[in-house]
Each structure stands twice: as C-alpha cells, then as structure tokens.
Amino acid sequence: MTSGAKLLIGGLFGAVCLACFVCPALAGAATLSAHGSVDQVWVVGARPGQRVTLFDPHGRAVSVRAAGPLGGVVFRGVAPGNGYRVATGRLPASSRLSVLPDRSAPPSTRIYGQRIVRSGYGYVTVRDGIKLAIDVRLPAGPGPYPTLVEYSGYGYADPAGAQSGIAPIANLLGFAVVDVNMRGTGCSGGAFSFFEPLQSLDGYDVIETVAHQPWVLGHRVGMIGISYGGISQLFVAATDPPHLAAIAPMSVIDDIATTLYPGGILNTGFALPFARARDIDAEAAAPGRGEAWALNRIRGGDEVCAANQALHPEAVSEVAEVYANRYYVPSAAGPLDPNTFIGRIRVPVYLACQWTDEQTGGHCPELAEHFTGTRLKWFTFTNGVHVDSLDPLTALRWYDFLSLFVAHRLPALSPVVRALAPELYQVAMGVSGVSFPADDPIEDQGSYAAALAAFERLPSVRILFDNGAARGSRAGVPGASFEQSFARWPIPGTRPMSWYLGSGGALLPGVTRLGGVDRFTWDPSARPPTDFSANTGPGGLWGVSPRYHWREPPRGTALSYLSAPLASDTAVVGAGSAQLWIAASTRDVDLQLTVSEVRPDGRETYVQSGWLRASERKLAPGSTLLQPALTLRRSDVAPLRPGRFTQVVVPLYYEGHVYRAGSRIRITISAPGADQPIWAFADLVPEHRATVRVAHSKAMASRLVLPVVPGVVVPTGLPPCPGLRGEPCRRYVPLAN
C-alpha cells in the first residue's frame, strides 16, 4: 500500500470512527438529551448526521440541523422564551425547554451552592447544564485562601499545569487559583465561539460558584491572567458578578480589529494563526486535534471529559469568522470591542500592557479612558514584549493590588519569595539575575489600612520608560530606567507636535520650506520580514538579547524623512499619526509608517509603526490626529484615483518613548512588514508592484503628528543600543529619497 493510500484510509477512518475513539457510549447513544441555554439550545444523543428539528413554543419548526459526528447539535440565535421542543424523525420530542436571555443573573442561584473540588482537577456546572473543566491550585498552608480565577480557551485546566497560565506565581504569593477552560475547549463541554455572550456568563457562574466555596477567604474572588486570560477578564467583569472582588488583566488587546486588521490590513503573522489555533483547540480530542491533555484524560478513563466532546464539533470556525467579518459590522464587531462595554466594570482594576507587544500589539492603552464605572483603576504601560507585564516593577504593584483588594491584607513579600525571584524570571523569560525591588512603599506602610490608603492615592497612570535599561542592570534585563505617573489617560497637558515632510528627506518644524514630491516603488517582496532567528518564549524574543536582524528597506522601495537634532529631551506618550498626501498608480495600496530614533552615536532604535489600507481611510467621528480611528466599514471604502493625490491619515499605535536631546526623529513609509517579529501581512494590495508618490508642498502638506508630554524629567541619558526591550536597534544607514 502506498503512503498516500495509507494517509487517505487513515483520514477516513479517523473521520468515521471519531465517536468510537472519543467515547464508545456516544456512538450508540439512543436517548436524545436537549437543553435550553442563553439564546441557544444544545442537544446530545442523536445519531451522526441525523436531522434534528427545533420547534418554537407554538409548535412551529424554526430550525433543522444535522447532528455532528459525535451526535451533538447547537441551535444558535434562538429567541428567549419557554416551551421549545426538539425532535428527530425517530425519537419522541423532548420535554419543554426554556431559552434564557443574555442577562447576567441566572433564573436561579441554586447552582452556586454546588461543591467543587477543594484541590486538583474537577468540573463546575454552569447555568445551562454544561460542565467546565477546572483545576484548583492551592498555595502552601491551611485555608481559607484568598482566591483568584484564570479563565481562557487555552489548556488552563490541564492537571500538569496551565498552558500560558500564571497560577504558580500566584500560589507562591499565597493565593489559591482556580484555572478554568472555556466551554468547547479541552475537557469542558459545550461548543466554542470566540467571546460569545454565553462565554462571559459562564465566567459569571464560575466566579459566583467559586466564591461560595468554604475554603475561599471572604467569599469574594479576583481574576488574573495574561493575554487570552487577561482579555477574558474584561468580558466577565462587564457582567458584574456580585462576588467579584477585582480584576488584573495583563498584555491584552483593546479591540479585536486593532490586532486582527490593523489599519484594515489582515494580520497574517499573529492574529490569523491565533484564530486557526483556536479552531484546532475547539475540536473534539483526537490524535493531533483538540487539546492534547484532554485526550490524555480520556485515555485515562475520564468519562465526563469524553462525554463533553460531543458538542465540540459544533464550534464556530474562527478563521471563517475572520474572513466573514472583513469589514466592521456593528452587530458582529461591537460585542467584541471591550471599549464599548468596560464602562460597566465596577470592581477595582489593575491593567498592564506593553507598547511593543509582539502578539497583542500596542493599542491596549486605548482601554484606559473607557473604564468609567470605577474610580479604583491603575494602569502600567511600558515598552517591552508580551511577557513584560510580569517585569519586577509591574509585578510588585500587581501583588500589592491583589493583596489589598482580594486578600484584604497588608502586602508582605516573604524572604522565600524574594529568594525565588531569579529562578522565576529565568523560567518565565529566560533572563537570569532578576530580582524584585528591594523596597515596596506600599508594604512599608505597616498596616492594611495605611497601605490601602497609600495605594488609592497612587496616580492612575504609570509610564515605565526605557524598559531594558535599568540602572545597575545589564542591558536588556527587564526593568525601567525611570518612571513617571499621571492623574489620568490621555495624559493631561499632552500637546500635538508636528514635523512636516520636506525636500531632501527632511522633517521640518514648519511649512516655510516645503515643496516637492517624492516617490517609491511599492514592493513588499523586495524587503524580507524581520529575521528573528529564535523562539518567542523564554530565552528567545523574551530574553536579554533577541537576535533581531532589522533590515533597512532596499533603495527605492521606501521613503525616509529625518528631523533636525532635537534641542531637548522629548517625551512622547500616546498614539499620533501621519497625515499624508499620496498618489498611487493603483486604485488601492497598503501602507506602513515606522517611527524610529536616530541617535547621536549613529545607532537607530525602533519605536512604533502604523498601518493603513488607503481605500479604508475614512476616519470615525470624533477622531483627532492624536487619536485617529478608522471606521473600517464596507460602505466607507473609497478607492483611490490612480495618479491623483488624496489625503490619508495613517494611525500610529501607542508609544511611550523619550527621544533624547541630540537625537533625530525618523519616519519611513513603505509596504507593510519587515519591522517587527510575529506580526506580518501576506494578503496585501495591490497584488503587484506599484508606484507611490508623497507630496509635501504648502498646498498639500504632509506631516507627522506626535503627542508630546511636557514636564517629563529625564534623569538618564541614551539607553544601551541594543537594550530596550521590544525595540530593535541597528546601525543607522541613510536612505536617500
């Protein structure tokens, strides 16, 4: 038999025998079991492929679906009400079902009286009868314990340890952690759909159930998590669980679109593979599919995990959703934009993000101004990579926050924990010799009441500058060289500062010497992506000296503009934009604008980028050049007229950077890609080369606009280069236009 035939037969066998492999009982199930859910009805026990009909309270057939390979069906978009029934042609109709509305409080709170495991692996039942997999991880010592919940679609409940979870750190700090797999992932029942309302309500039920356990201190719980486990907190907290004490999201997005479609351009480097991975994780456990730990549980005899796979094939394909929602549709995109609902969060919030996060991106600070429902909110922003929300200064404040608002006790890092810090950072980041700060002004208050008062007096916004250049540490080690705090976001007193594009590649402070047109050949294939020859985890991109090869674009494939040396240190904190007059030889063109600092020592440091598909240039109402936002609606798409100049605004992502006196600010306009690891853009327009012209005359003045914050005292000189975390550095090579 040929290898191709073996693969074909193996693939067919895997498809037709999935039910037998996952759970023999499912293949022969003869009892249809139907349940009402939130705007949904779910069914198990049908034969694979069998037609299942949903009848409304009046006996009318409202939907017919074929059962999946494991006999499961999910009817979505069902109007709330009582009296629904489900039937097949062979089995009698189900009993009457109630479909619940998308409302936080359940019809009955009796489910919160259920007992879950005190320690180790188990399940929690949510309002529609689905069982979610959990693993309870306890700190040393007797209870009751201050308790935290981590919640995502990753393998959080894996008894061997949560995938991308931070429970071990919280355990060391004295907190119990309940790690939870979202519905439709791992050993959890149900069908997955990315941040659908039901998923948030599952989180509500988990919070309330955990809070009622006898081993939970104070019967209130907090939430923690990085990335996926951070984003989920925003959705769950907006449902306002009564026993939620506080949330601490780290390394998160502000809106799906700013990571998935920056500037209207599909992010095929990180966001699209992330969606593909979610589709795989949501599949029923089988060799090479689903989450591997779930398959191990099933092989070990976990019948609940096996039965819970029945609805996994009914997951909504996230890759299909990515392409189906290419443009902004309020009904689809609105519920996935935390900016639209985090104003409903009423508990204390501690949020940390990085401007140069290689995964979620640099748009997270947009969230800060939308937390209008609580006065107890603190934000830490810095340059750095995805894991830098755990850098020592950020992590210490995170610990203080959790101690005060969840444990309700005076923060007190034990000598044991301090001694373990170097090992912790070695494992998490691949960086040796990192320790917590020697002094903690909150802990030094001496009593809980005094510490709480001191923490509440802290300004809301803290900017850590020059992460990777801490005094007394070697270059690249997590830690800022200095910090500054502000009362709110956007930072009071921020003013727009413009530099105009001029002849000879100059960035000018005014329009008096403008005049001319520059051109470049738009050709993404001419410039290979950033060559980052290491992994994105500990010791690689997260280590001290990532092996970036940040390449200058080939001559003629980009435009570059350089300011005069700055007369003084210039602190830029916020977004900003580039207002350009462009003419292309095509009806559309994708643009990238990169901002960097050219230092007096002849080195160049990457700071930030922005992107724009020119046909999607329309700005949303209320946009400014300091905080531009695109509509990204299909109805607003306006192709360019080839050869004719059109004004466009390229939104920049957020930065917090001090351009030192004597340095020059540089912008580079090119095809997207090549300046960052992970983020990439394979689906660009046009499909072939194009000529792009940029005008810089008094009538068509193109300019860079940055948010400059006056009064920032800069106690340090130029940081090492390389050294700043998340900001590649290279020898500066002039690029003649």
Q: Using the predicted structure, report yes or no on whether residue 26 has a pLDDT greater than 90.
A: no
Q: What is the pLDDT of residue 533?
A: 65
Return the exposure string of 237-274: e unless at least 16 CB atoms fall within 10 Å of the residue's CB, then b.
bbbebebbbbbbbbbbbbbbbbbbbbbbbbbbbbbbeb
Distance between CA atoms of residues 679 and 136, nearest Å: 35
Q: Using the predicted structure, report yes or no on whether residue 21 has a pLDDT greater than 80.
A: no
45 and 156, same structural domain? no
Q: Using the predicted structure, report yes or no on whether residue 526 has a pLDDT greater than 70.
A: yes
Confidence band of 491 (pLDDT split at 50, 70, 90) = very high
118 and 72, same structural domain? no
Q: Rg of the chain over CA atoms, in angstroms?
A: 27
Confidence band of 535 (pLDDT split at 50, 70, 90) = confident
Q: Could you give the 3-state DSSP secondary structure of residue 226?
A: strand
Is 4 within a domain?
A: no
Tens digits of residue pLDDT in 139-158: 999 999 999 999 999 999 99
Q: State what percent of residues in the chain have pLDDT above 70.
A: 95
- Tokens matching residue 735: 């690029």
Q: What is the pLDDT of residue 31?
A: 83
206 and 305, same structural domain? yes
Read off the amino acid at residue 197: P
Is 448 within a domain?
A: yes
Q: Using the predicted structure, report yes or no on whether residue 117 has a pLDDT greater than 80.
A: yes
Read off the amino acid at residue 212: H
Is 469 within a domain?
A: no
411 and 443, same structural domain? yes
Higher pLDDT, 545 or 71: 71
Q: Could you say which of 436, 458, 480 is where a domain stops?
A: 458
**Contacts for 709 with CB less than 8 Å, ≥ 6 apart:** 491, 493, 494, 571, 572, 573, 574
50 and 192, same structural domain? no
Number of domains in the chain: 4
Residue 73's CATH number? 2.60.40
Q: Are 389 and 354 in contact (CB under 8 A)?
A: yes
Q: Using the predicted structure, report yes or no on whether residue 3 has a pLDDT greater than 50.
A: no
Q: Could you say which of 41, 72, 99 is where a domain stops?
A: 99
Is 333 within a domain?
A: yes
446 and 406, same structural domain? yes
Q: What is the pLDDT of residue 91?
A: 62
Is 697 within a domain?
A: yes
Q: Using the predicted structure, report yes or no on whether residue 609 has a pLDDT greater than 50.
A: yes
Average pLDDT over residues 444-460: 97
**pTM for the predicted model, two decimal places:** 0.95
Q: Could you say which of 45, 70, 99 is where a domain stops?
A: 99
Q: What is the pLDDT of residue 90?
A: 63
687 and 563, same structural domain? yes
253 and 133, same structural domain? yes
Distance between CA atoms of residues 18 and 23, nearest Å: 8
Return the exposure string of 463-474: e unless at least 16 CB atoms fall within 10 Å of the residue's CB, then b.
bbbbbbbbeebe
Q: What is the pLDDT of residue 93?
A: 80
Tens digits of residue pLDDT in 158-216: 999 999 999 999 999 999 999 999 999 999 999 999 999 999 999 999 999 999 999 99
Tens digits of residue pLDDT in 344-379: 999 999 999 999 999 999 999 999 999 999 999 999
By the 10 Å C-beta count (0-12 exposed, 13-18 middle, 19+ buried), 3 is classed as exposed
Residue 309's CATH number? 3.40.50.1820
Tens digits of residue pLDDT in 85-111: 999 976 668 899 999 999 999 999 999
Is 11 within a domain?
A: no
By the 10 Å C-beta count (0-12 exposed, 13-18 middle, 19+ buried), 616 is classed as buried
* 3-state secondary structure string across 444-470: HHCCHHHHHHHHHCCCCEEEEECCCCC
Q: Using the predicted structure, report yes or no on whether residue 524 has a pLDDT greater than 60.
A: yes
39: closest CA among 129, 153, 128, 112?
A: 128
433 and 325, same structural domain? no
Q: Provide the sign of the torsion angle of the four alpha carbons 586, 590, 595, 600, taken in this order.
A: negative
Is 513 within a domain?
A: yes
Q: State what percent of residues in the chain have pLDDT above 90.
A: 88
Distance between CA atoms of residues 571 and 597, nearest Å: 12
Q: What is the pLDDT of residue 17?
A: 38
Tell me the residue range of the domain where 671 lies: 495-731
Sheet of strand 349-354: strand arrangement: 120-125, 131-137, 176-181, 145-152, 216-226, 244-250, 349-354, 377-382, 461-465, 482-486
Is 507 within a domain?
A: yes
Average pLDDT over residues 641-648: 98
654 and 563, same structural domain? yes
411 and 294, same structural domain? no
Average pLDDT over residues 398-426: 95
| pLDDT, mean over the chain | 93
716 and 661, same structural domain? yes
Average pLDDT over residues 233-260: 97
Residue 663's CATH number? 2.60.120.260
Distance between CA atoms of residues 25 and 521, nearest Å: 63
Average pLDDT over residues 639-644: 98
Distance between CA atoms of residues 389 and 393, nearest Å: 9
